[in-house]
Amino acid sequence: MDEAPESGVDQGLVRYLKWLVTTLTVTMIVGLVVLIALVVMRFNDSAPAAFPDEIALPDGAQVHALTRGPDFLAVVTDDGRILIFSPDGRTLRQEVAVSD
């Protein structure tokens, strides 16, 4: 009567399940650390300036609106023109007159 009662559970199966749970835990922790690192790196990327510091406007032109496209800057002036510039704002590519 000094023997331990038989539980009927295979000790090899218990060891295998412990190994699976530990592996899953480590995988989840590593995945979470990788996701946090990717988010931090993404937000720390220095984005280029949205607009140049200066735009070479024609004499007398006043800016009413300004927008940026993929490879151009568009300036709407108070005198009813749309000026299309290169992305650096120095080269005038096109001028469009807006009529009422």
- Summarised one tens digit per residue, pLDDT across range 44-54 is 876 666 788 88
| pTM for this predicted structure | 0.51
Q: What are the residues whose beta carbons fall under 8 Å from the beta carbon of 65, sequence distance 6 or more?
A: 75, 76
Q: What percentage of the chain's residues is helix, strand, coil (to nearest 5)? A: 35, 20, 45
For position 3, what pLDDT does the model report?
Answer: 58
Q: What is the DSSP letter of 45?
A: S
Residues of the chain where predicted confidence (pLDDT) is lower than 70: 1-6, 46-49, 100
For position 53, what pLDDT does the model report?
Answer: 82
